[in-house]
Amino acid sequence: MKTAALAAEMRQACAAIGRDELDELVQLGVPRILVDHFQMVGIARIRVEGPLYVPDPDSSPALITPVCMHYQDTPETPMPDVYPLVGNLVDLVAWDPRVPEGWALRTGAAIWLGAISPQLCDPEPVPVWRSPLNWFRAACSGLVILSSDRAEQYRLLAGCRGGIIAENEAHAVKLRAILDRPFPAAPIYAHAREARHAA
């Protein structure tokens, strides 16, 4: 699927989102500017087919978010607060705030949602979120792992050289399991204060 087609679907989804949906997103903690100005959330009726979704006017609505990045082979960028909002469109992710850890991709090209600063010179720990909703609540900082492929998950997390901040202890256990291989791995903290004390 070409970028122009993805962009057209995203524009259509943004045009379809109503005031009620926007108010609900704001109540859930999504900054209004991300929807109104940056058009990071739209709505469309979709049908999930395995890990992907297809538009289907007879199915249930889902929220649609563009997956934008600077580089396709790494989440690192000198402007991690910019490229997730206005970078190169590579995929769309459909999600439902009632099932925050469930989502489907449009093409399957995206491995992550978000961006991180270059992992050089003692970088800060990277927040990793369990859902697009929590990523939005954090003002689009850090990453959401979108891929279900274990090797891609490992490569993404192993690239976080300054460590990883999980949402809580249960999430930290899950991320540690992904990195449970005989290779050097970044430390994972359950809370930001642990990361600060470890430094």
pLDDT tens-place string over residues 42-80: 999 999 998 899 999 999 999 999 999 999 999 999 999
Closest CA to 63 of 136, 147, 1: 136
136-195 pLDDT, tens digit each = 999 999 999 999 999 999 999 999 999 999 999 999 999 999 998 756 677 888 888 877
> What is the model's pLDDT at position 148?
92
Percent of the chain whose pLDDT exceeds 90: 84
- Average pLDDT of every residue of the chain: 93
Query: What does the domain layout of the chain look like in residue ranges?
Result: 3-198
130 secondary structure, DSSP code: S
Residue 168 CA to its chain's centroid (Å): 17
CA distances from 39 to 7, 28, 35, 198 (A): 11, 17, 5, 38
Band of pLDDT at residue 1, cut at 50, 70 and 90? confident
What pLDDT does 178 receive? 93
Neighbours of 183 (CB within 10 A): 8
- The pLDDT of residue 184: 64
Identify whether the C-beta of residue 67 lies closer than 8 Å to the C-beta of residue 88: no
Cα 90 off chain centre by: 13
Mean pLDDT for 93-106 is 93
pLDDT at 199: 62
Q: In what helix (H) or strand (E) does residue 95 lie, and over which residues does it extend?
A: strand 88-96
pTM, two decimal places: 0.88
C-beta separation of 75 from 156 below 8 A: yes
pLDDT at res. 171: 96
Q: Residue 90 has what pLDDT?
A: 97
* 188-189, strands of its sheet edge to edge: 112-115, 142-145, 126-129, 164-165, 188-189
